[in-house]
Amino acid sequence: MSKYADIAAILRDEITQGSYGKEGKLPTEQELVSRFQVSRQTVRQAIGCLKHEGHLHQIQGSGTYVSLANPPRIRQNSKTIATMCTYISNYIFPDIIRGVERELSGEGFSVNLIQTENRVDKERTILEKIISDGHISGMIVEGTKTALPNPNILLYRKIKEMGIPLVFLHCTYPELSGETVVGMDDYQGGKALVNYLAKKGHTAIGGIFKSDDRQGLARYAGFSEGLLECGLGLNDASVRWYTTEDYARRHKVIEGKDQVFDNLCGSTAVVCYNDEIALWLSRVCKDASVKLPEIASFDSSQYAMLLDKPFVSIGHRKELLGKTAARKILNMISGQREESILMDWDTTVLS
């Protein structure tokens, strides 16, 4: 992120927290130059960014002021936490949501479950309604296509200005700084799977990863670092990428087996982004009468039980992740500061 964007993020948080008092006047440009040790032009870029977002306005001859010196707050009697996920009823999400609900219900809070179907247009509609209604205490959010530029960032910032705390599941958006995240250590998970396969004697290890979320990027980063540490080198031809839309069209994609196997280049083992993709690969191999490579995957979900051997799948801390996110949002509602946490994968299957 550029220097002016970093400064804008710091000032934005201070504005949200009411750091500039009743008058709402910012320090002078020179004072900000001295504070951040940057040029006057960088400070002006940061202020310009916040003016464009509607946070600041300038009065000639007087200075720069907060446009919302006293931003609206949530209703204090609200006991509802909006929990926004990409999907609710399938894969690992029911266990995550169970953890959220158990922790919140113990404190007298209810959960409003909403799904985006991993679509930014639905995410936008949901966020606009939350801003319009303002009847929640906090939000637990799984971001939508977090590896891509997101057009809804200003809405998230508006929600924070309203005093509604946010906790992100798995990862947040690059454009949002300082957010509290509860997720898995995807980088270390990717390395662990490669190390496991290398120790079993595999030297041709391929990978299939999701390109439109930051989990996929982190798992690939661990995968590639694991290959280098094991002395196996990198080979782009052995890596296949897919998006949310690709997976939705998977039945069409697998009609031509070359579309799958050309990119895997004779790999004897494959690291898959998750168990859904591992199962998909297993069925493609079976339909094409191709020998199944050894599969190493993430999540240890119900899909893993349907996979043909050999395979391993490391365990996601699903319910614990949900409980931890819920506890953090409760603490933030009570005024506490919370830090992000990345949980270790359950790698006992690799022992």
Tell me the domain boundaries of the chain. Answer: 3-66, 80-184+319-343, 186-315
Q: List beta partners, residue 343.
A: 184
User: Mean pLDDT throughout 202-215?
Assistant: 95
Q: What percent of the chain has pLDDT over 90?
A: 58
Mean pLDDT lowest for which of 229-233, 251-255, 298-302, 319-323?
Answer: 251-255
297: amino acid identity, one letter: S
**3-66 and 186-315 have identical folds:** no
pLDDT of 124 strictly over 80: yes
Residue 297: which pLDDT band, with cuts at 50, 70 and 90? very high
Best CA proximity match to 270, nearest among 290, 249, 287: 290
Q: How does DSSP assign 280-329, residue by residue?
A: HHHHHHHHTT-PPPEEEEEE--GGGGGSPSSEEEEEP-HHHHHHHHHHHH
> pLDDT at position 172, please?
95
pLDDT of 325 strictly over 90: yes
Work out the mean pLDDT of the chain and round it to a whole number. 88
Residue 334 vs residue 254, higher pLDDT:
334
Please give the CATH topology (third level) of the domain spanning 186-315: Rossmann fold (3.40.50)
- Under CATH, which number does the domain 80-184+319-343 receive? 3.40.50.2300
**pTM assigned to the model:** 0.77
Q: Which long-range contacts (CB under 8 A, 24 or more apart) does 127-132 make?
A: 127/152, 127/155, 127/156, 127/159, 128/155, 130/82, 130/159, 130/164, 131/155, 131/158, 131/159, 131/162
pLDDT of 233 strictly over 60: yes
Where does the chain have alpha helices with state H?
Answer: 3-16, 29-36, 40-52, 93-105, 120-133, 153-161, 186-199, 214-229, 244-248, 250-253, 258-264, 275-287, 318-333
Best CA proximity match to 24, nearest among 74, 60, 71: 71
pLDDT of 259 strictly over 70: no
Dist. CA 20–CA 27, nearest whole Å: 9
Q: Tell me which range, 52-66, 136-150, 288-302, is most confidently predicted by mean pLDDT.
A: 136-150
> pLDDT at position 350, please?
94
**Three-point CA angle 344, 348, 350, nearest 5°:** 105
pLDDT of 69 strictly over 80: no
Question: How many CA atoms within 13 Å lie on the side-chain side of 269?
Answer: 23
pLDDT of 268 strictly over 80: yes
> pLDDT at position 256, please?
47
> pLDDT at position 2, please?
67
Top CATH class, 3-66: mainly alpha
> pLDDT at position 250, please?
60
Separation in Å, CA 105 to CA 79, 134, 193, 205: 10, 21, 37, 45
Residue 77: which pLDDT band, with cuts at 50, 70 and 90? low
User: Mean pLDDT throughout 72-101?
Assistant: 82
Dist. CA 298–CA 67, nearest whole Å: 46
